[in-house]
Structure 1
Amino acid sequence: KKAEPKAAWRTSPAMPLSDDDFQRRVEVLMKWLRKNGAKFPKVEMSRYADEGRDLRSTQPIKANEEIIYVPRKCIIEVQQGKECKIGRAVRNEAKGWVSGHTYLAIRMLTERDLGSKSFFAPWFSVLPTDYRAQGMPQYWSEEMKKEIAHTKTLAKANAVKASIEEMWGRISKVKAVRKSKWTIEDFAWARYTVLTRTFGVDMNGKEATVMVPLADMANHEFDRPSRWKYDDKKRGFVVKVVRDLGVGANLTDTYGSKGNDSFLPFYGFCIENNEFNQGRFSLPRQNINGVKVSFLSKLAVSRCAYEAEEDKVKHIDATSDTDASGSKRGGKELFSFVRALCLNEEEYRRVARLSLKNKTEHPVSVLNEIRALNQIKSAANRAIAKFETSIEEDEAILSDLTKAPKFSWYRNAVLARVGEKRTLQFYVNLADTMVRLLEQPSMKAVQSTKAYSLLRSADRCTEWGYYANKYFDKVVAPLVKKSEK
């Protein structure tokens, strides 16, 4: 029998959404948008589950056609949260930094308290009312959370929950907030509503975080057909498509180049084959050869790649793409740090003279790269050893739809943990293959090895075939050729 989630937070929405009147509420929302100047002649909103909504085309759409326009008056902005009565009180009285998402949540709750008198009432009436139904691990029971033990997914879910609780602790002491009678459950509902449906735009030359009705109902797809922006001239949010679409097309957006460790705690779902899944590598903070590397602690790790420190251990997260960084969440920061970690005295003197800000972004030497690969392999193996199930066992579970039904919390748990394991295993395999090739005296010797033949014959449409060959071409081949001279 499948365990039922026992929520630490229980939402208490003021405007519950029933199955019977969903369509009526959608019609009221569409009427409200049109009345206030919004345009979406070929778009409809549909419901596919208790708390699931999406956007569909009602007519054929041509590439570059504008499909949605929402005027600024219908948009909720951070500044509105700061300028409303409770927002002003928070700005004046709260101790410490208060996030933009919190001000958006304040604005949401202020409007929600007005009920049907709120200008935004038609929009609020179709928003999710219970985030337990969204499948986020923050609402899982402790027994359910065991399925994602030792994952960065669980760590991130706990961090999101803790962040919301911390921010609530900061603003709940403000007199106006206490007077509002809001609870942590109310605030959590508002924060999750904000978390799952904000857009980062450029508005009049300034970065802004906004919430946009209708456009916020688009589901995720990496290969989305839509593009959006805030149009200063039109004074509104516009959505266009980049390719021709037929009737009934799902008008998706992308929620970013994220792994399942982000999708699950932020949105409550996982992608079946997600190339942006990351593994977490726990590494020493000091050079393994005792070399005092002056720039080691200064090496930047992108916020997207994530970085944390615990005592003598540094955690770096990376996807299988060893050449990508930043928003692509790749392994460039991982290799840059580990190369510095493995420098010997001679290598350090050489790279220290470089004018580059990141002195180990590029390969240093054959021997340094071998040491770096072995260090990464060891970290990956340590992480894999913590899991109670193997990749093969997880894949067997996923292949049985009766055991792990599509979109179930259990399937999402397995997808999250196996995604991390696959990425860690990628680096183990990468080290095993590339160390063999780096140990060869020449490119001719490299090309005669079985490891090289297997690498070059790998399907380039797979993560291994594409990213491993990319690493060979950009790192291994140049190092071996240089060592020949």
Structure 2
Amino acid sequence: MGDTKMPQNLPDLQREVSECGPDADRFARLVYWLKKGGSQFPKLYLKYYDEDYRAVHTKCAVDTNVEVVYVPLKQIMTTDKAKSSAIGKAIRSSGYVMNCSHSWLACYLCQEKHNPNSYWKPFIDILPDKYYNMPIFFSDHYNKHLKGSYSLEMATTRNRQLRQEYDGIVSRCPEFRKYHYLEFVWGRLAVITRIFSLEINGRTTDGLVPMADMLNHHPTRQTTWGYSDKKHGFVMTTTRKVGTDEQIFDSYGRKWQGRYFVNYGFTIDENYEDNDAVIHGHLVTDDPHYALKRRYMGGWTVREFQPQAQWNRKARDLLSFFRTLGASGEELQNRPNFNCPISIRNEMAALILLEEACEKSLTKFPESLQTDHKLLKTNRWEDSNHRNCVVMRAGEKEVLMWYIKLCRDGRSLLALPYEKHAKNAPPINTRFRPYYDAVIEPLVRKQTQYTKI
């Protein structure tokens, strides 16, 4: 049973919860429960900003490599504990196989939320009651701002997967039928937005770690964390200095914008390296070399790509497909490796087709990128959901525009004599330069050498 009764005088809790606003009572019970159970976070306190944003701040300046959070194993809600619970045993006995491991913890949360004497009550009480910021709950009011964005399909797919998981559980496990579908969804969202992957005594598992899960995301992490078998608990340590009263952040890792948005309900400003967009390639049936190209493509005639605006593996796969689409009969007869550039003519053809595909993707968005940038500059929004929608769609358009520029600049450079490349080559520290070094410069140099021969 969770001891949630509060002693009258707890001066050591005042600093930890004094800025928690309407959440002060709930967070006081959480802090009391954590401390009584052996958790330690003496340099941190909780701060309330609004209903959708809470944070962890420092009471004092914290140096690098300082342990700021310790949570013993008994206060970590792990997947193994969920499987060993009453509802976990019932699901396992039913024979149902979970499609997602997060569902174990979600089901356990549903069980414990309905238990007024649950050991986990102080922790469950601070979890958000609703997730208005999650795209899976968006109505047409918000979805209209996402027209053209792949995040709409992501949210639809996520809803379908959640429904299938819930229906699968209740079809095999009568004990879970007492919990409503939306309760299960609440549990899954609580898990995905707070989960830690841990290795405990040589076993890999997932866990919900109170207090540590309150740190918000920042691309540049300020902490590192993991389970310590020696200390029998979760340990979080700083990786840089943090000043007094500063917010202290964790990092959820590098992810494309759609994952931040659909999985966590927020977006990252200026996420240039990891923004991505959907680009479709299509082999038309009236192509004179349709059969041969289809064979080169492994039977595929339509492909969907989701690259970032940089020259990496995804971009190379993208160009490989479009090189195949643009190949001539003579080039196909030579059995080339389209993963590599094969000729100036073919590269130009591929870039023309890629530009057309990007333009087609752009037409799916009603608003222009200029409109999005203007909205972001004026910073006037209905609410944070509206802003996240615009940041999401703007990032996709920026990626598409980057590829359009790559196609145009690439064709211009491919048309230049080799002796002019030293003057016209893109600057070294640009995202276009790796493509130039890997593809354009070698092709033009090879053509020049062949001409001289």
**TM-score relative to the length of structure 2:** 0.86
Matched, 1:282 2:286: no
Matched, 1:172 2:170: yes
> Counterpart of 1:106 in 2: which secondary structure?
helix
Q: Residue 104 of structure 2 aligns with which residue?
A: 103
User: Residue 252 of structure 1: CA displacement?
Assistant: 1.0
User: Residue 93 of structure 1: CA displacement?
Assistant: 2.6
Q: Give % identity.
A: 28
Q: Residue 4 of structure 1 aligns with which residue?
A: none
Which amino acid is the alignment partner of residue 418 of structure 1? Answer: A
- Which has the higher mean CA deviation after the structures are superposed, 46-55 or 335-344? 335-344
Q: Residue 456 of structure 1 aligns with which residue?
A: 427
Matched, 1:392 2:370: yes
Q: Residue 160 of structure 1 aligns with which residue?
A: 158
Matched, 1:420 2:396: yes
2:281–2:321 contact (8 Å) kept in structure 1: no
User: Structure 1 residues 69 and 428 mapped into 2: Cα distance closer, same or farther (>3 Å)?
Assistant: same
User: Residue 429 of structure 1: CA displacement?
Assistant: 0.6
Which amino acid is the alignment partner of residue 123 of structure 2? Answer: W
Where structure 2 has 5 or more consecutive residues not aligned to the other structure, the ranges are 1-19
What is the alpha-carbon root mean square deviation over aligned residues?
Answer: 2.7
> Counterpart of 1:467 in 2: which secondary structure?
coil
Which amino acid is the alignment partner of residue 234 of structure 2? Answer: F
Q: Residue 218 of structure 1 aligns with which residue?
A: 215
User: Structure 1 residues 107 and 433 mapped into 2: Cα distance closer, same or farther (>3 Å)?
Assistant: same
User: Residue 384 of structure 1: CA displacement?
Assistant: 0.3
- Which has the higher mean CA deviation after the structures are superposed, 278-287 or 166-175? 278-287
> Counterpart of 1:24 in 2: which secondary structure?
helix
Which amino acid is the alignment partner of residue 456 of structure 1? Answer: P
Separation (CA, whole Å) in 2 of partners of 1:109 and 1:295: 51
Matched, 1:45 2:46: yes
User: Structure 1 residues 376 and 139 mapped into 2: Cα distance closer, same or farther (>3 Å)?
Assistant: same
Equivalent residue for 2:434, pick from 464, 470, 482 = 470
> Counterpart of 1:473 in 2: which secondary structure?
helix
Matched, 1:319 2:316: no
User: Structure 1 residues 285 and 31 mapped into 2: Cα distance closer, same or farther (>3 Å)?
Assistant: farther
Q: Residue 145 of structure 2 aligns with which residue?
A: 147
User: Residue 421 of structure 1: CA displacement?
Assistant: 0.8
Matched, 1:187 2:198: no
> Counterpart of 1:167 in 2: which secondary structure?
helix
User: Residue 175 of structure 1: CA displacement?
Assistant: 3.7
1:171–1:177 contact (8 Å) kept in structure 2: no
User: Residue 94 of structure 1: CA displacement?
Assistant: 5.3
Which amino acid is the alignment partner of residue 143 of structure 1? Answer: H
> Counterpart of 1:157 in 2: which secondary structure?
helix
- Which has the higher mean CA deviation after the structures are superposed, 57-66 or 32-41? 32-41
1:218-367 matches, cutoff 5 A: 218-275=215-272, 276-284=274-282, 289-290=289-290, 291-292=292-293, 296-297=297-298, 312-323=301-312, 325=313, 331-343=315-327, 360-367=338-345
Which amino acid is the alignment partner of residue 481 of structure 1? Answer: R
Separation (CA, whole Å) in 1 of partners of 2:371 and 2:207: 43
1:153–1:260 contact (8 Å) kept in structure 2: no
Separation (CA, whole Å) in 2 of partners of 1:408 and 1:48: 13
Q: Residue 78 of structure 2 aligns with which residue?
A: 77
Q: Residue 11 of structure 1 aligns with which residue?
A: none
Separation (CA, whole Å) in 2 of partners of 1:110 and 1:360: 54
- Which has the higher mean CA deviation after the structures are superposed, 289-298 or 83-92? 289-298
Separation (CA, whole Å) in 2 of partners of 1:42 and 1:336: 53
User: Residue 76 of structure 1: CA displacement?
Assistant: 1.6
| Cα deviation code 1:290-314 (max 9, x no counterpart) | 325656349xxxxxxxxxx9xx532
User: Structure 1 residues 394 and 214 mapped into 2: Cα distance closer, same or farther (>3 Å)?
Assistant: same
Which amino acid is the alignment partner of residue 382 of structure 1? Answer: K
| Cα deviation code 1:40-82 (max 9, x no counterpart) | 1211121111132111111111112121121222112222222
The structure with the larger Rg is 2
User: Structure 1 residues 418 and 206 mapped into 2: Cα distance closer, same or farther (>3 Å)?
Assistant: same
User: Residue 131 of structure 1: CA displacement?
Assistant: 0.8
Which amino acid is the alignment partner of residue 391 of structure 2? Answer: L
- Which has the higher mean CA deviation after the structures are superposed, 224-233 or 144-153? 224-233
User: Structure 1 residues 348 and 138 mapped into 2: Cα distance closer, same or farther (>3 Å)?
Assistant: same
1:322–1:335 contact (8 Å) kept in structure 2: no
| Cα deviation code 1:215-247 (max 9, x no counterpart) | 111111101211122223323222111111111
User: Residue 369 of structure 1: CA displacement?
Assistant: 2.9
User: Structure 1 residues 200 and 413 mapped into 2: Cα distance closer, same or farther (>3 Å)?
Assistant: same
1:224–1:253 contact (8 Å) kept in structure 2: yes
| Cα deviation code 1:244-298 (max 9, x no counterpart) | 1111122111223223322222222222211211110111268964325656349
Q: Residue 355 of structure 1 aligns with which residue?
A: none
Separation (CA, whole Å) in 2 of partners of 1:221 and 1:50: 20
1:340–1:360 contact (8 Å) kept in structure 2: yes
User: Residue 345 of structure 1: CA displacement?
Assistant: 6.0
Q: Residue 302 of structure 1 aligns with which residue?
A: none
**TM-score relative to the length of structure 1:** 0.80
Matched, 1:408 2:381: no
Matched, 1:62 2:63: yes
1:82–1:103 contact (8 Å) kept in structure 2: yes
> Counterpart of 1:470 in 2: which secondary structure?
helix
User: Structure 1 residues 285 and 262 mapped into 2: Cα distance closer, same or farther (>3 Å)?
Assistant: farther
Which contiguous aligned blocks of 4+ residues in structure 1 show a shift greater than 6 angstroms?
285-288, 349-352
Separation (CA, whole Å) in 2 of partners of 1:84 and 1:204: 20
Separation (CA, whole Å) in 1 of partners of 2:232 and 2:332: 55
